[in-house]
Structure 1
Amino acid sequence: MIPINAQFFIPIGITDSTITTTQSNNQLVGKPFGGGTGYFPIIKPEESNIIITTNDFNSLKTVLANASYGDTIYVNDNLQIEIPLAGTLTIPDGVTLASGRGRNGSKGALIFSNNFLETDYLFNYPAISAGNDVQITGLRLRGPDSTSSSVNYGKQAVGIKQENKNNLEVHNCEIYNWYVYGIFLIESDNAIIHHNYIHNNQNPHIGYGICNRNKTNTIISYNIFNRNRHDIAGVKNTNMEPPSYTAQYNLIGPDAISHRFDMHGCGYTDLWGCPDMYAKDDAGPDNLAGGTINILNNYFIPMNYPKYHSVVIRGIPRDVANISGNYFPNDYMSEPDYPVRQTLMWGDPINSECKPIDSSYEWNLTPPFDSRNSTANGECVYNGILQVEPNHINFVDNIIGQPVYLRVINWDVQSSNQVLKVVGPEVRFTNQDISSFAYGDFNNDGRTDILYQDYVSWSGLTEWEVHTEYHSIDPNHIIDFNGDGIEDKLNIVYPNTIWP
């Protein structure tokens, strides 16, 4: 039997058409969010110049030090290389460090640190230091702490750092447990961070998955983020150019200890050498919260407790913050209708379309890390309004809350060769009767089949149980994947479009 009208749902805010028109030139589409199984291309050992076969840190460090521009160093998938205290792997210009995450079920080689540096406030000892034109792919990078139980500013741990270099690409990696920064970019231009699983980087007052400092221009795409204090952050020093980033087509998981995407203005802590921003008269023109910020077509999964805002801009962008085409949940800890907040806007009037509220913040200073309380008397919160002036926020075409409408893709069959083709789409309510979904015997062999397409990836936050075509339709269930008591639908990406 062949169903004439098999239907699959797509949230309206994330569309294949926008992905097609905005994809970058290195063809990021058609691959699973977060990398891993199904990702391509994965570098093979035989494609490398040198294969690392030992767990010895110094051996890998020496090989990297002697590598030439264009070399690929492959770390065997089963290796676990520990970085000693104050140890760093330095990747020279033009060198690729690779392993095989996602190939034949491999998790990729593990490079890890169990050590904190007590006074490394300048972060001179990251696990990996990247030069110009460096590629890092297919690896697991694990830091020393997966928790957020205590604040200790003497504990420093950074995964990947690039400073005053350009053209870093990090893809198909798992980056986790770094107490301060998973990836730290300082005046680094044209970094591309894509198809990584970045999680559990969660110092309670720092803890960033990706941090951009001073002049940067970073593209962050198709990653899965979860359990970071901020998944993405930006900050600038006094008299330095502000950072810029584009975060697009990322999947943001349900767990966090603070808001998810962030851009600081100068002055959030004296550690960065910024002026005192807590008194209105001291604000000055230096409170630029980023250069150009693009937050486009990301999917923020409804959060577990505690709940936080999705985006916070702590000042006024030099150019603009474009926040468009995202799906935001409607379940925040406070001000529940507002996924985006803008704070610390001294000296600028509050536009009538903004809702002014008072909010108390506590910030930590340089050692001995005393704290002070301050009130941000100027704050805007955004909920579906378009506003560019005076505060340089462009908030448009986002979905807030559970989708009211879903786009339905209808499939039909060409009778001559039984090929499925698109004959939709149309829009329907979310309360579509589940009976309208059907499995079918597409090839008339008497077995139940599941629709298959090229460039489709299946992914979840936990392991999937695979049922082959030998199973009857009865054992297949729609289940509660995230434990919220509500039955969920399977997420499919086509291409890089979420189909719940």
Structure 2
Amino acid sequence: MVNNHQQNDNSKRRFISRRTYLRAGLATVGIATVPATFGDSDGVARAAPSPVPDPAPADSRIGGGNQYERKVSGGNYTATTKNELLDRLDHASNGDTVYIPNDVSIDLDSTKNIGISSGVTLASGRGINGAPGGRLYTEDIAENDEPVFEVRGDGVRITGLRMQGPRADYFNPGDCQGQNGLDCRDSDAMSKNATLGFFILGSNVEIDNCQLYGWPRAPIMSGAVGGYAVDTHIHHNSLHNNQMEGFGYGVVVTVGNPTIEWNYFDKNRHSIAGTGEPDCSYEARYNLVGPNTVSHAFDMHGEETGNVTDGKQAGKTISIHHNTFQFSESYVYDVGQEAVTIRGVPSDKAVLENNWFYHTLPDGQTQPDDTNVDENGQPCRQYNIPQDDWTNVEFTNNHYGTDEPVSDIGHPRSDDGALTAEVGTVSQDADTWQHVTLNNEYSNPVVVMKPVSQKNGENPCHTRVKNVTSSGFEYKTEEWEYTPADHQPETISYLVVEQGSGSTDDGTVFETGTVTTDEALTEHTFESTFDTKPVVFTQTQTVNESDAVVTRNTHVGTGDFEVRLQEQAANPNAHSDEITAYIAIEPGRTTLSGTEVEVGHHENVTDDWTQLGFDGSYSSPAFVADMQTINDGDTATLRYKDLDANGVTVQVEEEQSGDDETDHHGETVGYFVTSKNGAL
């Protein structure tokens, strides 16, 4: 069986400079399909080189490992030798997992161009009971730029592995000298040491929870010119000791727009390098760059043939936010070293915001100004530009110096922004207060418990919550004062989240907290930076007044929202202040501790029953929803029925204390759904 490998035309892959190398070799990718090239080893175990200890923080989700949530513990196929690995990958198909046990080391010797088919996962169990993960390694110093793995399949996942290259130390491959290698042009020596780990050409490829080190060129290269502008997701990895002079990258972005997040970088020449191609972009967020760097950490090369007037083009869009750079000098050269270098003009822009730089700024500066654009040792440097000021480079809300900034600047801290949460569903007679015991341990949780089903009574009702503690809360089904107090059992789901802010494994931003509200609209500003408008769920947490009350949300944006209380229309007096909880989550499908959840919107929900379909399928779903608008001021809440794996029917239910009319203008409804009850 052919293993999805491609012939490399090495006669066209000569090396003139680092940037030219990155372009010239990749332009010839993908000519013919051939089997993998094998080395001399038959896969029999032999003495292996010593692994390099993992420098990623053990008590953090950054860099993966023990605290990472999406670990893999087994698969359809198991491989313990090289030959078994090649055979299993040959036979694996969409949905299969090829698993390398945690105590196994496999010598790949000089084998190159190993393919992985679409939808296949290559995995080990890094972080399970403290395990380092199964190890793949090579001591082969490549004579050309053939990768060990050439991943052309779409939807491939590579997770939980150690991948060790031939040289983890800093070395200069030739006789070239010069600070930070800028004068190094020993192309022959570079080409003979250009060992590459994973070359990603398929779309929607995910590399997570891996330890990747010892690669003179890079452990990961994403994309290639000529139709391979891919969107690789590189997250929760420890990428370190990739530090050969001239190359020595953690991640190379050729073309495309990968997301690079929640990684730990240290002892790389550049942790991220972009080629500068017109369609080269990347987003780097929530990363921690350690104290040891050879040269600048995040990079975009300048391209000679760009379309920016009188300067080199440095890629397209570079988004660098919520990272921490724990250095201000090169540990090799012992000189001041910038954290980010843009070697030309991005055709769109480079935005640096909410980062923590250990560098200090000159006196009087609160952000880099035009006096030190092209200067070594600053937080950021730009050159190959038509004038002496920042060009298509923006700075917003960064912190400079070693003193710790507020929690929303720099890499996630304070339990790394982990989302401590759980969901549950109750179905019982709840006219009186009932107690719920929580599964997780919390310090200061908030509870949202809405909407109520509509199956056992037509009287309008909603849920009231009180006595929220670290271990539980109380709730009851509350009818309006004009209706009888007795209500039959209904089904209600609840969402409990620890107060704070952060993001999920894939970068979905969330924030929870409380605000004191009454019947006037209260504006609340988020502490977090939401890229898209979140869904906001609110619920009173106190009973400071016995009159029935609900919350209503409106004007939800990326920076703030408004919330108010509503009593029944017939009540003449205002309601006392109540503590109201909010949970704000960016919409989309994400994963919490291996459980998929979905957050979304549905517009124009009225008093008529409206079908709301889910994007995914959720068995025995827990469903939480709340209105995001006040397009009709009459007191109202949501009700639901016919909840199943694929959707639910919802309506806006008005109370009728003031009149019998229940028509309600269309409102936007936000929802949360998952198939799991219990801790997330």
Q: TM-score range by the shorter chain?
A: 0.5 to 0.7
Counterpart selection for 1:97 from 100, 108, 122: 122
**1:132 maps to 2:154:** yes
Q: Is the 8 A contact 1:210 1:232 kept in 2?
A: yes
Q: How far did residue 50 of structure 1 move?
A: 1.2
**1:230 maps to 2:270:** yes
Structure 1 stretches of 5 or more lacking a match?
1-29, 268-273, 276-281, 355-379, 381-390, 411-416, 424-441, 444-452, 458-500
Q: Partner residue of 2:324?
A: 299
Q: Partner residue of 1:201?
A: 242
**CA distance in structure 1 between the partners assigned to 2:394 and 2:328 by the alignment:** 24
Q: Partner residue of 2:64?
A: 35
Distance 1:145 1:407, change over 3 A: closer
**CA distance in structure 2 between the partners assigned to 1:73 and 1:407 by the alignment:** 39
Superposed CA offset, 1:445-472 (max 9, x none): xxxxxxxx89999xxxxxxxxxxxxxxx
Q: Partner residue of 1:253?
A: 290
Q: How far did residue 155 of structure 1 move?
A: 1.2
Q: Is the 8 A contact 1:253 1:303 kept in 2?
A: no
The 5 A counterparts of 1:402-441 are 402-403=402-403, 420-421=443-444
Distance 1:212 1:419, change over 3 A: closer
- Partner of 1:59: helix, strand, or coil? helix
**CA distance in structure 2 between the partners assigned to 1:212 and 1:231 by the alignment:** 11
Counterpart selection for 1:170 from 191, 207, 219: 207
Distance 1:407 1:114, change over 3 A: closer
Distance 1:98 1:324, change over 3 A: same
Q: Partner residue of 2:392?
A: 392
**CA distance in structure 1 between the partners assigned to 2:442 and 2:106 by the alignment:** 49
**CA distance in structure 1 between the partners assigned to 2:299 and 2:403 by the alignment:** 25
Structure 2 stretches of 5 or more lacking a match?
1-58, 174-188, 362-373, 415-437, 447-469, 472-497, 503-680
Moved more, 174-183 or 30-39: 30-39
TM-score, normalized by length of structure 2?
Answer: 0.45
- What is the percent sequence identity of the aligned residues? 33
Q: How far did residue 159 of structure 1 move?
A: 1.0
Distance 1:176 1:342, change over 3 A: same
Q: How far did residue 149 of structure 1 move?
A: 2.2
Q: Is the 8 A contact 1:330 1:336 kept in 2?
A: no
Q: How far did residue 182 of structure 1 move?
A: 1.4
**CA distance in structure 1 between the partners assigned to 2:404 and 2:231 by the alignment:** 38
Q: Is the 8 A contact 1:83 1:112 kept in 2?
A: yes
- Partner of 2:244: helix, strand, or coil? coil
**1:149 maps to 2:171:** yes
RMSD of the TM alignment (CA)?
A: 3.5
Superposed CA offset, 1:55-96 (max 9, x none): x21221121012111111111111111112143421111110
Distance 1:63 1:342, change over 3 A: same
Distance 1:93 1:286, change over 3 A: farther
Superposed CA offset, 1:249-281 (max 9, x none): 1000010110010000114xxxxxx69xxxxxx
- Given residue 381 of structure 2, which amino acid in structure 1 is its aligned partner? R
Q: Partner residue of 2:19?
A: none
Q: How far did residue 327 of structure 1 move?
A: 0.3
Superposed CA offset, 1:16-54 (max 9, x none): xxxxxxxxxxxxxx9710000121121121xx21122x2
Distance 1:331 1:88, change over 3 A: farther
**1:116 maps to 2:141:** yes
Counterpart selection for 1:185 from 222, 225, 231: 222
Distance 1:88 1:407, change over 3 A: closer
Q: Is the 8 A contact 1:219 1:247 kept in 2?
A: yes
Q: Partner residue of 2:96?
A: 71
- Given residue 168 of structure 2, which amino acid in structure 1 is its aligned partner? S
- Partner of 1:104: helix, strand, or coil? helix
- Partner of 1:101: helix, strand, or coil? coil
Superposed CA offset, 1:418-475 (max 9, x none): 974399xxxxxxxxxxxxxxxxxx99xxxxxxxxx89999xxxxxxxxxxxxxxxxxx
Q: How far did residue 185 of structure 1 move?
A: 1.0
**1:218 maps to 2:258:** yes
**CA distance in structure 2 between the partners assigned to 1:158 and 1:130 by the alignment:** 15
**CA distance in structure 1 between the partners assigned to 2:354 and 2:246 by the alignment:** 29
Q: Partner residue of 2:531?
A: none
> Which one scores higher on RCO, CA 8 angstroms, separation ≥ 6?
1
Distance 1:406 1:220, change over 3 A: closer
Q: Is the 8 A contact 1:135 1:169 kept in 2?
A: yes
Superposed CA offset, 1:133-170 (max 9, x none): 1100000000000122222312121111113x211100
**CA distance in structure 1 between the partners assigned to 2:206 and 2:383 by the alignment:** 32
Counterpart selection for 2:337 from 303, 308, 325: 308
**CA distance in structure 2 between the partners assigned to 1:296 and 1:143 by the alignment:** 29
Q: How far did residue 283 of structure 1 move?
A: 8.9
Q: Is the 8 A contact 1:208 1:229 kept in 2?
A: yes
Distance 1:454 1:34, change over 3 A: farther
**CA distance in structure 2 between the partners assigned to 1:455 and 1:322 by the alignment:** 26
Q: Is the 8 A contact 2:112 2:146 kept in 1?
A: no
**CA distance in structure 2 between the partners assigned to 1:174 and 1:455 by the alignment:** 29
Distance 1:420 1:455, change over 3 A: closer
Counterpart selection for 1:330 from 359, 383, 387: 359
Distance 1:127 1:224, change over 3 A: same
**CA distance in structure 1 between the partners assigned to 2:106 and 2:443 by the alignment:** 48
Q: Is the 8 A contact 1:130 1:168 kept in 2?
A: no
**CA distance in structure 1 between the partners assigned to 2:287 and 2:271 by the alignment:** 10
- Partner of 1:40: helix, strand, or coil? coil
Q: Is the 8 A contact 2:63 2:237 kept in 1?
A: yes
Q: Is the 8 A contact 1:86 1:117 kept in 2?
A: no
Q: How far did residue 116 of structure 1 move?
A: 1.1
**CA distance in structure 2 between the partners assigned to 1:175 and 1:193 by the alignment:** 12
Distance 1:134 1:401, change over 3 A: same
Q: Is the 8 A contact 1:86 1:125 kept in 2?
A: no
- Given residue 387 of structure 2, which amino acid in structure 1 is its aligned partner? P
**1:51 maps to 2:78:** yes
Q: Is the 8 A contact 1:255 1:303 kept in 2?
A: no
**CA distance in structure 1 between the partners assigned to 2:404 and 2:69 by the alignment:** 35
- Partner of 1:65: helix, strand, or coil? helix
**1:161 maps to 2:199:** yes
Distance 1:343 1:80, change over 3 A: same
Q: Is the 8 A contact 2:276 2:300 kept in 1?
A: no
- Partner of 2:381: helix, strand, or coil? strand
Q: Is the 8 A contact 1:31 1:455 kept in 2?
A: no
Distance 1:42 1:454, change over 3 A: farther
Q: Is the 8 A contact 1:242 1:288 kept in 2?
A: no
**1:243 maps to 2:243:** no
Q: How far did residue 404 of structure 1 move?
A: 7.5
Distance 1:180 1:331, change over 3 A: farther
Distance 1:336 1:68, change over 3 A: closer
- Given residue 212 of structure 1, which amino acid in structure 2 is its aligned partner? V
